[in-house]
Amino acid sequence: MDDNDLAVRVTGLHKRYGEKRAVDGLDLTVARGEIVAVLGPNGAGKTTSVEILEGYRHRDAGDVRVLGVDPQTAGRDWRARIGIVLQSTNDLAEASVSELVHHFARYYPDPRDPDEVIDAVGLREKARTRSRQLSGGQRRRLDVALGIVGRPELLFLDEPTTGFDPEARHAFWDLIAGLRDGGTTIVLTTHYLEEAEHLADRVAVVSAGRVVAVDTPADLGGRSARRAVVRWVEAGAHREEQTDAPTALVAALAGRLGGEVPGLQVVRPTLEDVYLSLIADDQAGDAATPAAHPAPALVTTEASR
């Protein structure tokens, strides 16, 4: 892909804190107009990497281009093209929603209409409310309003829906999907697999400072990772088989067993199953005795959740 089509290109990124290798050879590209979700366990290096992309942290090694510019040497023009929604802060708690959004809009050369932004994030009813009087979910919407009022080409969202109730989360997802439809490129860190699956064009799994897998939510881990598993009981024994053609297998079983198949279950690994397996594989690979750390089975049954 041509560099002009890329919002982010990172190659061989390294960052240490003392002896700790927080980022250890991370590669990532994000196409313009794409939503990429960065997933990974606590301490995997997601925040450090994203802060380097945002120009808030210096790297030790590697090449980084964000909107074609090295964030480490980028100026104000570049910063005006980026939107950042950090994990929530409570600065300016005495100002109202409307005052804050109008105030932030003045920092940008070509801002969105602040009142339209307040509408878009669903805060019209709260426009006159002081920020400290907002609920957690409303506060997060205000954070997003402040992140997008400058009409960013690229938006960084750090764990945007932590602490949301399910309804607020779905409303927030609609808001993000609307931004994507308007052409905004989005890099999202999240611990919610469902959020990544719902929003992201591609998912990057980070473990121990590297990207260990990157693909669409449907193809992450390779096709075989998402093969269906058919389970049944035959001659008193529990049987199971992985297959790309579960319908054919079930039909064959029904024929063989003369109708109803005892204990029949057809399950597909979820994105969460695939993610956990990728992380376990990576951690087993890093261990001194890999055989002692087998990856867990890819499949969990519907009943176990």
Rounded distance between C-alpha atoms, residue 285 and residue 213, angstroms:
14
Q: Are the C-beta atoms of 171 and 160 separated by less than 8 Å?
A: no
Assess 279 for contact with ligand ATP (CB under 6 A). Answer: no
DSSP-derived letter for residue 54 is: T
Are the C-beta atoms of residues 123 and 142 closer than 8 Å to each other? Answer: yes
- 111 is an interface residue for ligand ATP by CB under 6 A: no
Does residue 303 belong to the site contacting ligand ATP (CB under 6 A)? no
Strand partners, 8: 30, 66
How many amino acids of this chain bind ligand ATP (CB under 6 A)? Answer: 11
User: Are the C-beta atoms of residues 201 and 38 closer than 8 Å to each other?
Assistant: no
- Rg (C-alpha) for the chain, rounded Å, is 23
Check residue 132 for interaction with ligand ATP (CB under 6 A): no
Binding test (CB under 6 A) with ligand ATP, winner from 48, 161, 207, 270: 48
Q: Are strands 210-215 and 228-234 parallel, antiparallel or unpaired?
A: unpaired
Work out whether 124 is an interface residue with ligand ATP (CB under 6 A).
Answer: no
- Residue 36 binds ligand ATP, judged by CB under 6 A: no
* C-beta closer to ligand ATP: residue 57 or 130: 57
| 59 scored as a contact of ligand ATP (CB under 6 A) | no
Structure tokens at 6: 């890329």
Considering only 26, 37, 44, 249, the residue that binds ligand ATP (CB under 6 A) is 44
Nearer to ligand ATP, 46 or 79 (CB): 46
> Which of the stretches 44-52, 132-140, 221-229, 243-251 binds ligand ATP when contact is defined by CB under 6 A?
44-52
Q: If you search the block for the tokens 């297998």, which residue do you land on? A: 249
Q: Is 42 in the site for ligand ATP (CB under 6 A)?
A: yes
- Stretch in the footprint of ligand ATP (CB under 6 A) among 2-10, 46-54, 101-109, 254-262: 46-54
Contacting residue, 7, 28, 29, 40, with ligand ATP by CB under 6 A = 40
Q: Which is nearer to ligand ATP, 42 or 304 (by Cβ)?
A: 42
Residue type, 175: L
Is 45 among the residues that bind ligand ATP (CB under 6 A)? Answer: yes
Stretch that binds ligand ATP, among 38-46, 59-67, 70-78, 176-184 (CB under 6 A): 38-46
Per DSSP bridges, beta strands 20-31 and 35-39 are: unpaired
Q: What residues contact 33, with CB distance under 8 A and at least 6 apart?
A: 180, 183, 184, 185
Given a contact cutoff of 8 angstroms between Cβ atoms, the answer to whether 36 and 188 are in contact is: yes
User: At 29, phi and psi to the nearest 5?
Assistant: -125, 145
Contact between 79 and 34 under an 8 Å Cβ cutoff? The reply is no
37 binds ligand ATP (CB under 6 A): no
Among 5, 20, 163, 285, binds ligand ATP (CB under 6 A): 20
**What residues make contact with ligand ATP under the rule CB under 6 A?**
17, 20, 22, 40, 42-48
